[in-house]
Structure 1
Amino acid sequence: MNTIQRIAKNMMVLFVGRILSMLLGFFYVMYTARYLGPANYGILTFALALNGIFGVITNFGLDPLTVREVARDKSLAKRYLANGVALKLLFGGLTFLIVFLVMALLDYPEITRKVVYIIALSTIIGGISNLFKDIYQAFEKMEFMSIGQILQSALSLLFAIIAIKLSLNVIHFAMIYLSVNLIVLGYHIVITTWKFLKPAVEVDLEFWKSIVKEAWPFALTAIFISIYYWIDSVMLSYMKGDEVVGWYNAAYRLILILLVIPSIYFTAVYPLMSQLFKNSNDSLRFSFERSFKYMSMLAFPIGVGTTLLADRIILLIFGPEYSPAANALRILVWSSVLIFLSQPYGRLVQATNKQIIETKITATGAIINMILNAVIIPRYSYLGASATTLTTELFVTLAYMYIFRNTKFFNRHILTFMWKASIAAAIMGLLIWFFKSLNLFLIIITAIITYFGVFILINGFDHVDTKILKRLMLPEGGSK
């Protein structure tokens, strides 16, 4: 199997898994949000946001480091997994202590505190599960990751339906996260023992020192990213109340679903980029350019289409109680467009051992985000938080492009990719505008056909894409 076929196979496995997982997750979010209502849904999403910020302490940058190092040397898998579990248990205990102290200082009702503590335990278990997924990714065995994702989403939906039938409250919905993560951790332990190695817990202090030394830039980056991903929900909860958090997170959850697309792609490509850094700089540049092109090709039509159809999307999924979320979605979707464009650079610096660049950029972004939220939320509420998120992602994207402006990773090809995708998306947008009163699904299908039709007409697909497609079609024994 050639390299392109291997990447395509892993992407297809991840794509199928994520599509099924997203579909199940979509219904979970829809049923949960509608059943709980904006206020109780706001409590649940506040707990997820708060633990999203502090939960990165549990991971401490171990996940991208484990993938990178094990992808380069498979014999390190057992050592990284055994010591990683021990470290995550240690950092997990610290995470729970910090969350407990923060909630003790804040004047929240008892029901909110209970939900936060349950989600904290769930986050720690999920962090340990991530180590097993790191092993699958490093060995490029994405099918086991996909099965785990589907299992998690299916169980979440099943337990949510049961909770709704039994008329349970928001605390029981928090318990769903903990129960599902425990079951999924058991799945990962069984699969890893069966297919890869026997999991263990190991305390090698010298190895810990080397891991922490390499992982801290990843950890700081994750902390800063989590701050500007989640601090808005925490600040909205404190300043504006649970209902506003519910509206904001109805839109925000849809954005997180969109971000599954770059996540799938770079889960498959990142191990290869890590290998190419050691073996071939020209191939690394090629991989980066194609990645940026495909992200641009998908990002711009998503931004344009969602902006024009936001009110109908929110009404369809969440119902009229969440109608204020439509304007938030119109703003937030452009932050997802920028994330699509910045992801190739973020993975590039990780793969080339320059993660400190990512740390500096995300640190600055987090500071900008917190300052803007503190100033804007009191006056503009959840729409101000949406604008702050967009501003932060704009800074991050421009910062990466500025840093790489005089390198082979920022050239005329990059600008051409964005320009052609923008033109095709604009024409697609005109079609949506003129026919927006038609059936929503008919509009979406027609818009997709129009976009790719225009993209082909303006030579958005070139001979390189054709060669890649041909290599995908090669038989198993085709050229390497």
Structure 2
Amino acid sequence: MSLVRNLALMGTSTALRLGFGMLTFVVMARLLGPAQFGVLMLWLSVATLLSLIANYGLAPYLLREIGAVPASARSIMSEVLSAKLLLTALVLLLALASLPWVSPDLRLIFALLLAAQLAESLTEFYNVGYRATNRFAEETRIASIAVLAQFAVVTLALWWRAEPLVAAGAFLASRLLVLAITSLAQRAYFKGMRPAPLAKAWTCVMRTKSYAIDFSLQSLIGQIDSVVLNHFIGPVAVGLYQAGMRLFNGGAQAAGILANVFLPRAAATSGDKQRFRAESGRIQWAFVSVGLAFGLALALLAEPLVALLFGADYAPLAAVLPWFGLLFFVRFFAASWGVLLTSAGQQNYRAAINVVQWLVVAALSWVAVPQYGMVGWLACLTIGNALLALAYIARGLQLSGLGWRQPAIATAAAASFIPFLHLPKL
């Protein structure tokens, strides 16, 4: 199947998830208000952080391995399924052990949201099976049914009673429904697929440690934010910030589209220097173009977007949204080189650099967040991702043979955000 057709189908599938997923969060934000929405998003972030153990970076591992050796798809899927089930059991044990430290009125919300995130993790595993085996059309069909059902469940529940507990229960019900639809459709293709023996599951876990570290650190954006802002400022700031993050994450789905299409292709050409260089160039320009277009849209349309989607209660978000746009662009710039490194088997390097990045972000945040609030945190993340991009470029140029033209143009393009950025009044 052609590159353009794959991108179109993957884009359609992701656009459906994006559109209805964003509508769901918009309804939640409007009906719950910043304070209650902040409480829900704080515990959704905690549940998501814990579920990173179950995700473990297995999706990019599947894409690379099956892309490199398509004939091994079924055996690799079985090993990864076994590893994922093992890790999910570990997460559930950790959650049970942590419940005594959770406020009694929040325990059920936390448990429901964690179960929802674990169900979504399994759904993503089955979705990767479509992408790695070049069945983008089938995924698009299943995604259309699943997202409509998910939107209906959550929206109707919140319309009935707008409370965080009801929202958490609806989240779980919708995620279980989507998991059932996706797994049944996928099993028809991988007939007889069963979890591999426990020994193979453990071997898979040990073999993919670098993927897990890299994926977890990359996934902290949008999740650890709630914990940091709640600590320094409070739940209202979490609600405002996470409303902006819904827009950010919506656009960030494009990274998944590009990575799901390009990663298997680049992995398949990694042994041929000339073909790998050509494929790497396509990756660079695709990521930077999307990052610049969506990032500038957030900056230019900040006020109308906030007013239209979230209402007057979220008005302070409009001044912050251009910072989300700049972070979006810098993150996509870094991702354009990160996908190149993954396809070339450089996960250990990526993991190490991500550790350094988060140490820098943590150090800066102790000064910037108390002084500048949400803007301070976004500035810390932007600086961290810029450093990440520089480190990726240093290794990526060696592997691909590409020149400095793309990094130079991307750096110049970042200046287009300057007129929209403002520091809050102290």
TM-score (norm. length: structure 2) = 0.90
For residue 132 of structure 1, what is the amino acid of its counterpart? Y
Counterpart in the other structure of 1:334: 326
Using a 3 Å threshold, how does the CA distance of structure 1 residues 405 and 101 change in structure 2: closer, same or farther? same
Deviations 1:177-218 (A, max 9, x none): 21122122212222122233333223151x334422321000
Counterpart in the other structure of 1:115: 109
Aligned-pair CA distance for 1:328: 2.3
Counterpart in the other structure of 1:476: none
Using a 3 Å threshold, how does the CA distance of structure 1 residues 131 and 308 change in structure 2: closer, same or farther? closer
Secondary structure in 2 aligned to 1:196? coil
2:17 to 16, 21, 25: 21
1:271 equivalent in alignment to 2:267: no
Using a 3 Å threshold, how does the CA distance of structure 1 residues 260 and 61 change in structure 2: closer, same or farther? closer
Written as runs of structure 1 = structure 2, the 5 A alignment for 1:251-262 is 251-262=244-255
Written as runs of structure 1 = structure 2, the 5 A alignment for 1:178-327 is 178-205=172-199, 207-278=200-271, 280-327=272-319
Using a 3 Å threshold, how does the CA distance of structure 1 residues 367 and 100 change in structure 2: closer, same or farther? farther
Using a 3 Å threshold, how does the CA distance of structure 1 residues 370 and 144 change in structure 2: closer, same or farther? farther
Percent identity reads: 19
2:70 to 71, 74, 79: 74
Separation of aligned partners in 2, 1:79 and 1:420: 46
Unaligned ranges ≥5, structure 1: 433-480
TM-score (norm. length: structure 1) = 0.81
Using a 3 Å threshold, how does the CA distance of structure 1 residues 138 and 33 change in structure 2: closer, same or farther? same
Separation of aligned partners in 2, 1:64 and 1:299: 20
Separation of aligned partners in 2, 1:25 and 1:233: 19
For residue 359 of structure 2, what is the amino acid of its counterpart? I
Counterpart in the other structure of 1:7: 3
Separation of aligned partners in 2, 1:110 and 1:240: 23
Aligned-pair CA distance for 1:110: 3.3
Using a 3 Å threshold, how does the CA distance of structure 1 residues 160 and 186 change in structure 2: closer, same or farther? closer
**Contact persistence 2:288–2:336 (CA under 8 A):** no
Aligned-pair CA distance for 1:73: 2.7
Counterpart in the other structure of 2:167: 173
Aligned-pair CA distance for 1:419: 7.0
Written as runs of structure 1 = structure 2, the 5 A alignment for 1:95-114 is 95-102=91-98, 104-105=100-101, 109-114=103-108
For residue 405 of structure 2, what is the amino acid of its counterpart? H
**Contact persistence 2:295–2:329 (CA under 8 A):** yes
Counterpart in the other structure of 1:353: 345
For residue 213 of structure 2, what is the amino acid of its counterpart? L
Aligned-pair CA distance for 1:302: 3.1
1:396 equivalent in alignment to 2:388: yes
**Contact persistence 2:31–2:162 (CA under 8 A):** no
Deviations 1:107-130 (A, max 9, x none): xx4343322221111121222222
Deviations 1:313-353 (A, max 9, x none): 11111011011112221112111101211112111111111
For residue 390 of structure 1, what is the amino acid of its counterpart? T
**Contact persistence 1:247–1:325 (CA under 8 A):** yes
**Contact persistence 2:22–2:246 (CA under 8 A):** no
For residue 333 of structure 1, what is the amino acid of its counterpart? G
Separation of aligned partners in 2, 1:220 and 1:321: 38
1:134 equivalent in alignment to 2:151: no
Aligned-pair CA distance for 1:69: 1.6
**Contact persistence 2:78–2:193 (CA under 8 A):** yes
Separation of aligned partners in 1, 2:391 and 2:319: 27
Counterpart in the other structure of 1:147: 141
1:371 equivalent in alignment to 2:363: yes
Q: Which runs of structure 1 show a deviation greater than 6 angstroms over 4 or more consecutive aligned residues?
A: none
Aligned-pair CA distance for 1:228: 4.1
For residue 31 of structure 1, what is the amino acid of its counterpart? V
Separation of aligned partners in 2, 1:264 and 1:296: 14
Secondary structure in 2 aligned to 1:259? helix
Counterpart in the other structure of 1:387: 379
Secondary structure in 1 aligned to 2:208? helix
Written as runs of structure 1 = structure 2, the 5 A alignment for 1:155-170 is 155-170=149-164
Separation of aligned partners in 1, 2:269 and 2:77: 24
Unaligned ranges ≥5, structure 2: 421-426
For residue 276 of structure 1, what is the amino acid of its counterpart? T
Separation of aligned partners in 2, 1:379 and 1:352: 41
For residue 167 of structure 1, what is the amino acid of its counterpart? R
Separation of aligned partners in 1, 2:95 and 2:364: 24
Aligned-pair CA distance for 1:421: 5.8
For residue 173 of structure 1, what is the amino acid of its counterpart? A
Return 178-187 or 81-90, whichever deviates more: 81-90
**Contact persistence 1:307–1:330 (CA under 8 A):** yes
Using a 3 Å threshold, how does the CA distance of structure 1 residues 208 and 305 change in structure 2: closer, same or farther? closer
1:92 equivalent in alignment to 2:92: no
- Aligned residue-pair number: 420
Separation of aligned partners in 2, 1:369 and 1:193: 42
Aligned-pair CA distance for 1:233: 0.9
* Higher Cα radius of gyration: 1
Aligned-pair CA distance for 1:102: 4.7
Aligned-pair CA distance for 1:384: 1.9
Aligned-pair CA distance for 1:157: 1.9
Using a 3 Å threshold, how does the CA distance of structure 1 residues 327 and 390 change in structure 2: closer, same or farther? farther
**Contact persistence 1:189–1:199 (CA under 8 A):** no
Using a 3 Å threshold, how does the CA distance of structure 1 residues 405 and 268 change in structure 2: closer, same or farther? closer
